[in-house]
Every structure is written in structure tokens, then in C-alpha cells.
Structure 1
Amino acid sequence: MNSKSLISKLIKDIQASSVEGLNIMEVCGTHTQAISKLGIRELVFPKINLLSGPGCPVCVTPISYIDAAIELLNKENVILATFGDLMRVRGTSENLINQREKGKKIQIIYSPLDVLKIAKDNRNAEVVFLAVGFETTAPLVALSIETAKKNNINNVSFFTSLKSMKPVMDRILKDKHHQIGGIICPGHVAVVKGAEYFRFISEEYNIPAVVAGFEALDILGAIHFLVHQHNGKKRSFENLYKRCVTPQGNLFANKLMEQVFSLYSSEWRSIGNIEKSAFYIKDKYEDYDSLKKFDIEIKGNTNDQNCICSEILLGRKLPNLCRLFGTSCKPESPIGPCMVSSEGSCAVFYKYQKIRNYITY
């Protein structure tokens, strides 16, 4: 059976199943993009409601982090390096685009290792990298810090907002009112952390979970697995992305993270404080910690007003249920962070979906 025929069979099986309105959450920005681009949400509705979780790193970066980054730019002779998506995320009053328009030095990079070259080329400046991401980005940031230390590159530091995926999933599933019936685990994080990292979902919460890739067949296969898990009382976990994901993940990457970082509590934008959910630079590498190097303090946290990013990030609602969606909040004029990043649920939904009155809960 070719892939096209197999996809058709999976869709028919899902639509013929006994489930009704089953809520399945995907927790990866790339899955969010693929589901919308391929029209999978429409193919499985109304049997399945596909909801997006907090898998967009830019979306969960706190307002106070952006404010602190802008404060760093006010220091003498500082060059800020950042991923492009972060440029449009607003702090309390401004974003990094506003700062660059004022003449501040900001460079967009594509890999954390690029910041070392910028530092070498600008020995008289202090280069600060805005290290935002999940376990997928953290190993490269750790490698960059370790490389800078070994090579005595002293004019570079890292302002981290690196989050860990498991604690936020715990937060979601501990909510007694959640109505999530299955989870598609983030494939990219699983490549690093290993499939076993997510087994707790089925073992601790009795919710079926699956690690999946990003092609149509991967995603529909994952949905098919989760649907048929509801026929029994014991819900299980499965790795369907074995071509890329091993049980224990990338051992070298995990060793690097353990060497450079410790886990502490952290603020997640629109969600709140979550214990042991962020990677902080260990004292051994404190010379490369921007907060310590420049004596910057992250001051308080405020949530976005008027938009429902919190409900969207927690998988409670789809973007079109926000009254601002598609009117005052669009990709060219975003109000909430979910409309900023290319992986943000609102931006993806706006780009690919016809606005439909999906009801979640």
C-alpha cells in the first residue's frame, strides 16, 4: 500500500471510530505548522479536536525578559544577537525592532554558535545572545558557552530563557479541569531527550501519548494510535518516530546540558511561574551569564491584556475564539505573542486556516 492509500485508510478509520469530539493536543510548533498547512484539522473534525500546546518558545518568553534585553541595549557598547522571531515580541512598551530603529546594535543569527564569530569580529564590544528555546536549542547554547570558555572569548555572554518541556506538560495535565484525551509529543525535543522522556504522560496521568514525526503520514498515524487507545482502560505510550528518536535521546547533548545548566523555576508568558522549568547557567560559567555580568534584574511579570494567549497555549481554545483574532491582531500587527512567531498558534492558524467555529471546551 502506497503512502497516499495509507493516508486515506487512516482518515477513514479515524472518522469511523466510536470517539466523538476527542481533544488531542500537539506540543510542538512544527507540528502546529504541519497540521494547518496539510489541512489535517479539517480532515479529522468533528471526531477529533486538534489543539495546540505551549510548544512555541517565543510565545512563552515573558514580557520582563524583553524589557531586560532592552535594558541591556542601554549599556555601553553592547551588541545584541537574537533569532529573528524575537524581534517583534513586545515588552512593556517596545520591541527590539523599535530599538534597532533608534540605532541600537542588534544582529539576527541562525545558530547560537554564530555569536562566537560576532564576538571575535568585535573585540571592543560586549556581545549578548538572547538564548530562547527548549531542549532543542539548549545543547547548542551549552556548546557555545563551553567553546567560549575554552577559547577565552571573554566579550560574549548569554541571556537565557531556555525552557524545559516536561514541567509545563505536568502543569497542564495536573489541572483537574483539562479535557485532553491524547498528546502528540514534540518530535524535536524527543530527538534530544529521548522517547522515554515523555512516558510519564501515560504512566502518571493515564493519557495516551505518542512521539511522532512531521509528515502527513506521521501525524495521522499518531492520531490513529491515540484514537484506538480509547477502546481500553489502560492508556499507553508509543514512539512512532523511531527513524529519528531513540529511547534515551542524544546522550552527548544531554551531558552538555547537565554540565552547563541547572534547572530552576521560571515564568512562562501568559501561563505563570513553573517550578524547575528553565535552564540557568551554572556558577562555573557565570562569566558568560549576562544577568550576572551586567547586574541586570528581571523585574516582575505582566500578562498580555485583552488577548487569550493563555487559553491558547494551554490548549483550551483555538485562536479564532479570541475576539482580537484576524481583526486588530494579525501577523503584521500582532497583539499577543502567539501571533508573532512563525510557530505561534495564532500566526499559523491565520496563515493556513479558514476561520471556523470550532468548539473546544
Structure 2
Amino acid sequence: MKDKSLMAKLVKDIQASSVEDLNIMEVCGTHTQVISKLGIRELVSPKINLLSGPGCPVCVTPTSYIDAAIELLNKENVILTTFGDLMRVKGSSENLINQREKGKKIQIVYSPLEVLQIAKENRNAEVVFLAMGFETTTPLVALAIETAKKNNIGNVSFLTSLKSMKPVMDRILKNKHHEIGGIICPGHVAVVKGAEYFRFISEEYNIPAVVAGFEALDILGAIYFLVQQHDSKKRSFENLYKRCVTPQGNLFANKLMEEVFSLHNSEWRSIGNIENSAFHIKDKYEDFDSLKKFDIDIKENMYDQNCICSEILLGRKLPSLCRLFGTSCNPESPLGPCMVSSEGSCAIFYKYQRRIEHE
């Protein structure tokens, strides 16, 4: 009851504020889910426009990465392991579901460490894990690679599409035409990297930013903080998720990432190439790098020009503004990556917002 009263007060204060048409980006797909599920977007409208960002790992995984995974399946005696969300992401022509229907060996796992056990149980096969995600997943992949090396598990390798969050935020905010007036930073990434990882948003770009948790009160508190910052000349940064996020994050996880990975340029689906934005396996662990082990390349990407996923991922448009949304592109037959993943803006908007938009 106390939380409900506080939430009601926050909504009232937001609506009573002097701001008009303030764009706030929530970067994390989980934030987008909560905002849509609980109707927070409608509670703070029309004062606040809540726009999604590039925080869905499946959505920014390039088409060419899926093509490389399918190329690996054509190698002799390969077992592909992957998170379930990646199964429906389409490459140039097919997805992994199509490949499994053709008899290819694909297993869904819930942790990179499961892959090591599969490799132990299939010593005569080559087991490949599709390592996809942000800083939240990267430490677990690093731990799996380090463990494989220590235990001489030689029949396992990792095809990586592991992204770093800060470079893509830099890309968005360096665009002089962006209209973002505040940012709700991804709580999951902040748990690993620490709150200070996101302080650059306010210090370098003078845009208010806040690290927030995933309850309704967390998100409304974050919006209230950003609204209060709007009229300040010097915008600030705040960690409102202190119950889980420390200033420096998980030191052990960060040490693991630094041990196994180095940062390189990388392609982000629908966005383009971003400098130093991907975690690549270091040479000392190259025996576990699928690209080197199988001598394959991730080729240039092709984008569907009819899909506006790039505009959605960059916080410029809502999914409902795409002419394909809800018609030829829907959860049953997704055309763009934002409709595939449960964390994708289009899939979330379709599930929770489409009815509201058409009322």
C-alpha cells in the first residue's frame, strides 16, 4: 500500500511538472517489458515520451552472424548450442529452426557452462556455442572459455557476438540531431560494470541519466529524477539501484572479461559498424574461437530497407510507426529482429501496446 501511494504521488508530480514532450530512452529490454506491461508509458504521457534503446542483444546480432552459424552446421559432426531467442532470428535466407528441421544438431541451453558438459558427453563431436549478449552474459562466456582451457576440453568453441553497451550509447549521443532528454540506464549491465560506467552520459553530454531497477516504483522514480533534472543547466547522474549496483560493479566478472576478451570494432544489426564495441577472444584462447578454429568469416551484412528496426533501436521511433508492424511483421512471422526476441521493442509493443494504440 505504501508503494502504491508513493507511485501515485510520483505520477502526480510528473504530470504537474513544467516539462513538455520530454523524450526519455530506456535502454534495457527488460525495462521496456515492465513499462509496457504495467502501462507506465500511458501514466506519464503526454508529458513524457518513453523510447526504447539498443539493449536487446538478439536485435543487434547481425544477419551475417546467423549465416556463420549455419555455415558451421554444414561442417562435419558439429553440435550447435544456443540460447532459445536466437533460434528464430533470420540470416540471409534461413534461421536455426529451419536448420534443425533439416536434421542439423542444435541444442538450446540456458548457460554457457552447460556447453562444457555437452562437449564432455560428445567427445567425438565439435560443440559450438553461439555466445551472444552484452556485459551481462560476457563474464559467463569468459568463465566457460577459461574453464575449458584449464580442463583441456578441446572439442568446444565459441562463436561470439558479445557487445559492449557504452560505445553504442556514444554513437547515439554524438548524433547532433538526437532528441533524447534523459536516459534510464540498464540495471543488469550496471550490476556487472558498476554505476560509474554510465556517468559519462551526464558528464560528457550533459544529459541526465539514472541507473534503475525493474520494479514499477524503480522506473517511476527514475522518470521523476530525470524530470527534475530537465530545467537544470548542469544535468547529473544518479544510481537509484543501490540495492544491487555498486559504483565499480562486479570486480571478479570484470577481471574475467579482461582476461579472456579484448575490444574490437563490430557490426550492430540495423545500426552499422561501431568502434571498439565487441568482445573478441584473445589470442591466448584462440583455440576456443570458432572463427579461427573452422576458418570462417563473418561477411558483410544486408538489411531489409522496409524494416525500421534501426530507427527503433536508436530511440527515434516507436514500433507502431513502422508500416510493417502488426501486419506482415508480427510475432508469428517476424521480419525484423525487434519482433523476434521477447526483449525486442516491436514484440513487446505488439503484446502490450497494440491494443492501446488502436483504441
Q: State the distance in 2 between where 1:300 and 1:231 align.
A: 44
Whichever residue aligns with residue 337 of structure 1, its letter is P
Alignment of 1:9-24 (within 5 A): 9-24=9-24
Matched, 1:213 2:210: no
Whichever residue aligns with residue 250 of structure 2, its letter is N
- Number of the residue aligned with 2:227: 227
| Residue deviations 1:112-139 (CA, integer Å, cap 9, x gap) | 1110011011010000000000000000
CA contact (8 A) 1:320 1:356 kept: no
- Number of the residue aligned with 2:236: 236
Aligned-pair distance for 1:301?
1.1
Q: State the distance in 2 between where 1:146 and 1:230 align.
A: 46
Q: Aligned to 2:55, what secondary structure does the other structure show? A: coil
- Number of the residue aligned with 1:259: 259
Q: State the distance in 1 between where 2:8 and 2:125 align.
A: 57
Q: State the distance in 1 between where 2:75 and 2:178 align.
A: 45
- Number of the residue aligned with 2:91: 91
TM-score normalized with structure 2 length: 0.99
Q: State the distance in 1 between where 2:269 and 2:355 align.
A: 25
Q: State the distance in 2 between where 1:137 and 1:47 align.
A: 35
Aligned-pair distance for 1:299?
1.2
Matched, 1:133 2:125: no
Whichever residue aligns with residue 248 of structure 1, its letter is Q
Aligned-pair distance for 1:88?
0.3
- Number of the residue aligned with 2:47: 47
Aligned-pair distance for 1:356?
5.6
Count residues in correspondence: 358
Q: Aligned to 1:53, what secondary structure does the other structure show? A: strand
Q: State the distance in 2 between where 1:286 and 1:304 align.
A: 33
| Runs of at least 4 residues off by over 4 Å | 355-358
CA contact (8 A) 1:320 1:355 kept: no
Q: Aligned to 1:222, what secondary structure does the other structure show? A: helix
Q: State the distance in 2 between where 1:222 and 1:304 align.
A: 35
Q: State the distance in 2 between where 1:24 and 1:182 align.
A: 5
- Number of the residue aligned with 2:7: 7
TM-score normalized with structure 1 length: 0.98
Q: State the distance in 2 between where 1:230 and 1:35 align.
A: 21
Q: State the distance in 2 between where 1:298 and 1:270 align.
A: 16
- Aligned-pair RMSD on alpha carbons? 1.0
Alignment of 1:1-361 (within 5 A): 2-354=2-354
Q: Aligned to 2:54, what secondary structure does the other structure show? A: coil
| Residue deviations 1:126-177 (CA, integer Å, cap 9, x gap) | 0000000000000000000000000000000000000000000000000000
Aligned residues: percent identity? 87
